[in-house]
Structure 1
Amino acid sequence: MGKPNQSANFLRKAGIFLFILSFSFVSSGWAQKHIRILNWNDFHAKNMAIRKKDKKGSYSSGGAALLEGAILHFQQDSIPIVKVNAGDDFQGTPISTISRGASQIRLLNLVHPDVFTIGNHEFDYGSYRLDSLLHRAHFNVISANLYNTDTGKLFAKPYQILQIGGVKIGFIGLMLPDLPGVVLSKNIKNIKVLDEKRTVEKYVYLLADSVDLFVVVSHMGIEYDRKLAAANNAIDVIIGGHSHTVMKKPEVVNGVLIFQAGSYGRFLGKLDIWVDTQRDTIVRYRGKLMSLTSRNFTPDKKVQAAVDSLELIVGKNLDRKIAELKTNWIRRRNGESNIGNWIADAFREYTGADVAFQNSGGIRKNLYKGPVTKRDFWEVTPFSNTILTFKATGEELLAIIENSVSGKHGMQQISGMKVFYNPNAPENHKVTKLLVDGKTVNTKKEYSVATLNFVFDKFVKNYRLIPENRPVKKFNKLDRDVLIEMAQKQKILFSRIEHRYKKVKD
């Protein structure tokens, strides 16, 4: 059974299993099996290694070939290994966008995770496209709480049982509950997310007599993982993703190990566990993150050849310099950023709108002073969102800004406005003053608003700040194309923090 008996559970909760003897057999004769989980998550199509330099010289970091090289390195050990990918392999570089995810399936088939759970960005090209791509997958894909309303069945297998080094492990896949809040509505119109806690309870009960351990492969983020562990200690391990959390070592919550390996292929998680297969419990563990660099591992030639062939599809045109950046552009999710200011200003200038919004979570890459290429903008805004405008009253603008400063969804990057707010004030009463073009907002007046189709979708369907029947003007232009043209026009790029959001005291 996956659920430990009372005495073993007590040991886990007390946190003292770190110090239990590490011999293959202890005096009572319990069988201990040593296995290793190699995990990664939120790769975001960072297939190519990045060249870096420090005092010791230059080296490569990340990329699919180094990931495979690290896996092959550990497979030379005698310790049985299971490879686990916690989702969001899609989206983030031009090749993923151009191939609509096919590039990542091709590379995943080479790296071949033993278990892969679906992330929210796997739906960026639509649920039907994802379903088609998964038919090409030569690896186990699981997600227990994604329900397909078209078929009346789960979108993927809910679980996978694997025997690794004599240990039977039940892997259960999970998607974050707020999937509709982070994906375009049209991309998941046939997808419903089931309650994650009840889902896990169901499969733990179903598989309890069939496995030694339960491992949840979660694309929910660290906070949801902690809540799940607190609610169900029949789980042994949670391998996580979505929040891009760099965990140098596993965290223990309610006797459950939680581990996540950052993002973008910078790290590979290595979790060694010793399992008592008679009592179905972990008696010892050791986990750490391994930096994926050429100083630590040798890139795999077969995977590198596949990456190179995919990049030929992209072409060298994307690496041509189009502008010079004079200051570092650094993203901020919960505050104004200089890159966000520049992007929002570009949207407002392109459309001629009074104000503009760019969601902070849609800015995916920092840029550093020096040459800027088309590829940079493909990677800064990789989602192929389109530009649109709509009319909003001053009262509706206030509601959008209240939502922005609430801390729930990340601040909107803004243009044409200045916000004064008290972060300690009650919800929906934090904004003390809103200026549009330097004047106090008129709650009855209509203003033109520029933003992305994704952001408008959230304003309407998730946050319910704008009525569903609000007319929009659609521009036949992707966000990155607007930014590329603006950069080419300006040639010298510079923007700074202008305190467009200003905190005020109680």
Structure 2
Amino acid sequence: MNHKVETIHFYHTNDIHSHFESWPQISRLLCDKKREHLIEGDACYHFDIGDHVDRSHPFTEGTKGQGNIRLLNEAGYDAVTIGNNEGITMSKEALSTLYKDAKFDVILSNLYEEDGSRPKWLLPYRIYVTEQGTRIGVIGATAEYKAFYLKLGWQVTAPRQNLKLVAESIAAETDVIVCLSHMGIHEDEKLAEECSEIDVILGAHTHHLFHDGKLIGNTLLAATGKYGEYVGHVTVKFNTDAKELLQMDAELVRTDSIESNEKDIEKVNDLIKIGKQAMEEQVFYNPSHLSQNLFDVSSLSSFFGRALIAYSQADCAMFNAGIFLGSLEKGWVTKEDLHSLLPHPINLCLITLDGSELKEVYELSLTKEWPQIEIKGLGFRGSLMGAMIHERLYKNRNDQLFAGNREVVSGQKYTLATLDMFTFGFFFPSLKHAEIEYYMPELIRDVLGWYGTTLIKE
């Protein structure tokens, strides 16, 4: 009976976000397991489900993400899909060349060039055949951030519909279908309900965690949370004679339970060093010390506010003081200084509002509790929101609101420069549906660097 049953192992990671603290242990575990399983005669595959890259880490920023690819190569990955951090925090050119040295497949079916053609660096699916002849179809898709992808020169299509079409099209040629999904838990659950052809969905994006997987119909969902705290392991038993799936199990390995050594710590520190060395380039000379203040206006916030307005030609600007993770010293400012100060993969955007809408946004921004709120996600890499800072947006003695030198009145249009994280509807629901122009691929640290260089020229 045994010779008919093949055991196949899938190891998976997701949403590492360049948190390399446990990466040496993860890499060692994956390499050891692959060796072990192959000796036992089992098939073994390693997959990453996106957001491995995060530009808030100096190693990723300094190597333009190429360093992450080296790490995935060393750990013996077979395939990855992309997350929004690979997809929309990098320029089109950077993403197009990100995987040039990859020794694994990039599987993604819902991203296209502007003309509708498929980028050369990715595959809509791949069918892997084990030594015993079991055909494993691997498909992948990423979350649909339409406005952002469009601005960068990509076309992105609805991932769930896309995956169903691909799964149906390869069902006859495969024995097992595994989906690498960077769509989030709710979309994964819907996909499992709607597409019985898919056997395993390895999830990501919403940082959800399944300790023993989750079964919906005959589809097994598995996910490892975030930051490399866990490595996922799905075991599939397949009857090669009857071409029948016998059993599927999911488990998680806690990375802090994997033995570590001195060399691991060295490796992690080396990554930071490599990144910082790569960012030693001087950007501009800062004539005076600019200090931060988490709960009030500061010389740094004024400088940054002026930078946003100069770059976007907006009437006024609004942002939170929590984005500054330090002060800006007097002297030459390097790329590394700007990265340490503003590590967030956040873009500047210009919002056009009616006077009544701008008044509403301004009043909401004065919410007393906000400065103490801890922000997680939205591209923010600090901790507290901090005070909301208004540049050229103020009330006069008669309590009238002004944007620049114009009084804010209903029926007139005004432009507000702000951070893209305020357009997702969490803090300012009305901004989600406003007229927005995103500035991409430059991040807010690039805007600050640009402003510094323009002052020198003057």
Same fold (TM over 0.5): yes
| CA deviation map 1:98-142 (0-9, x unaligned) | 222121122222123111111111132222221122222111111
Q: 1:480 to 1:281 in 2, by over 3 A?
A: farther
Query: 1:2-43: CA deviations, max 9, x gaps?
Result: xxxxxxxxxxxxxxxxxxxxx847xxxxx3322211100111
Instruction: Say whether 1:39 aligns with 2:8.
Output: no
Distance in 2, Cα, partners of 1:299 & 1:162? 35
Residue of structure 2 in register with 1:140 after alignment? 105
Q: 1:230 to 1:396 in 2, by over 3 A?
A: same
2:86 is matched with which residue: 112, 117, 122? 122
Paired with 1:305 and 1:415, the residues of 2 have a C-alpha distance of: 39
Residue 452 of structure 1 aligns with which residue? 419
Paired residue for 1:478?
445
Q: CA deviation at 1:186?
A: 3.3
Shift of 1:219: 0.8
Question: Separation in 2 of the partners of 1:250 and 1:457?
Answer: 30
Q: Does 1:396 align with 2:357?
A: yes
SS of corresponding position for 1:248: coil
Residue 67 (1) aligns with residue 21 (2): no
**Structure 2 residue 129 is the aligned partner of structure 1 residue 170:** no
Offset of residue 315 of structure 1: 4.6
Conservation of the 8 A alpha-carbon contact between 1:70 and 1:297? no
Is 1:152 aligned to residue 117 of structure 2?
A: yes
- Name which of 186, 201, 204 aligns with 1:241: 204
Q: Which of 281, 285, 297 is residue 259 of structure 2 equivalent to?
A: 297
Residues 50-107 of structure 1, C-alpha deviations (whole Å, 9 max, x = no match): xxxxxxxxxxxx2x21111111332324343210100111113012112221211222
TM-score normalised by structure 1 residue count: 0.62
Q: Distance in 1 between matches of 2:321 and 2:216?
A: 32
Q: What amino acid is aligned across from residue 124 of structure 2 in structure 1?
A: P
Equivalent residues, number: 385
The letter of the residue matching 1:196 is P
Measured in 1, the distance between the counterparts of 2:348 and 2:297 equals: 12
| Aligned counterpart, 1:10 | none
1:313-333 Cα deviation digits (max 9, x unpaired)? 415999xxx9xx99xxxxxxx
Post-superposition shift, 1:146?
1.1
> Among 73, 96, 101, which residue is 2:60 paired with?
96
Partner AA of 2:61 in structure 1:
T
In structure 2, the CA distance between the partners of 1:147 and 1:317, relative to structure 1 (3 Å rule), is closer
Tell me which amino acid in the other structure corresponds to 1:255.
N
The alignment partner of 1:170 has SS state of strand
Alignment partners' CA distance in 2, 1:402 and 1:165: 65
Query: How far apart are the structure 2 equivalents of 1:255 and 1:476?
Result: 43
**Aligned pair in 2 of structure 1 residues 477, 163: CA closer, same or farther (>3 Å)?**
closer
Residues 385 and 452 in structure 1, CA contact (< 8 A), matched pair in contact too: yes
Q: How does 1:3-22 map to 2 (within 5 A)?
A: none
Q: 1:86 touches 1:119 (CA, 8 Å); kept in 2? A: yes
| Aligned counterparts of 1:436 and 1:24: Cα–Cα separation in 2 | 79
Whether the aligned pair in 2 keeps the contact of 1:184 and 1:454 (CA below 8 Å) is no
Distance 1:207 1:443 in 2: 59
Q: Deviation digits for residues 277-325 of structure 1, max 9, x if unmatched? A: 44544322322211112x423469699759726623415999xxx9xx9
The residue type paired with residue 173 of structure 1 is G
1:343 and 1:283 map into 2 onto residues whose CA distance is: 63
How far residue 394 of structure 1 moved from its aligned partner, in angstroms, is: 3.8
Match of 1:111 among 67, 75, 78: 75
Please list, as runs of the form range in 1=range in 2, the aligned pairs for 1:304-453 lying within 5 A after superposition: 308=270, 311-315=273-277, 347=301, 350-351=304-305, 356-357=318-319, 378=339, 381-383=342-344, 385=346, 392-397=353-358, 415=388, 444=410, 449-452=416-419
One of 127, 130, 135 as aligned partner of 1:161: 127
Q: What letter matches 1:108 in structure 2?
A: L
Deviates more, 1:206-215 or 1:143-152: 143-152
Q: State the identity as a percent.
A: 22
Indicate conservation of the 8 Å contact 1:35/1:165, yes or no: no
Query: Where does the alignment leave 5 or more consecutive residues of structure 1 unmatched?
Result: 1-22, 26-30, 50-61, 327-338, 366-373, 418-434, 486-506
Q: Of residues 153, 159, 163 in structure 2, which corresponds to 1:200?
A: 163
Partners of 1:148 and 1:317 in 2: CA distance = 30
**Closer/same/farther in 2, CA of residues 70 and 298 from structure 1, 3 Å limit:** farther
